[in-house]
Amino acid sequence: MGGLPYGTQKQIELGRALALEPDLLLLDEPCAGMNSEEKQDMIFWVKDIQDELGITILLIEHDMTMVMDISDRILALNFGRPVTEGKPGQVQKHPEVLKAYLGEDEGV
């Protein structure tokens, strides 16, 4: 598998996990190291897994765009400390989330 492109390797890893027919799927930084096209493909597949297979997904991810695109509920942490929890629109507007994840000042 080492000779395959990185994005393809990640797809195979996801397929292996799904072959076990889990009720819960833990994805830890599934798009780390991927280019933008591979990242968009992964987002599409994760959405399909949720919609078509009904599998609950626990996602650990720093890419807030991906998090906002695929999450129903979000728990935002900053250095291991809970900042806020809620629907993507609520979390995205929280001042500490803006500062910690999106690099914006609280006054923005």
The range of the structural domain enclosing residue 51 comes to 1-61
pLDDT of residue 102: 63
pLDDT of residue 8: 84
* CA neighbor of 18 nearest in space, from 50, 65, 40: 50
pLDDT of residue 65: 84
Query: Helix, strand or coil for residue 55?
Result: coil
Q: What is the CATH number of the domain that holds 11?
A: 3.40.50.300
Q: What's the CA gap between 30 and 87, in Å, rounded?
A: 21
pLDDT of residue 63: 84
Query: Does the residue 67 lie in any domain?
Result: no
Residue 57, beta-bridge partner list: 25
Query: Does the residue 57 lie in any domain?
Result: yes
Which residues in the chain show pLDDT less than 70?
1-2, 101-108
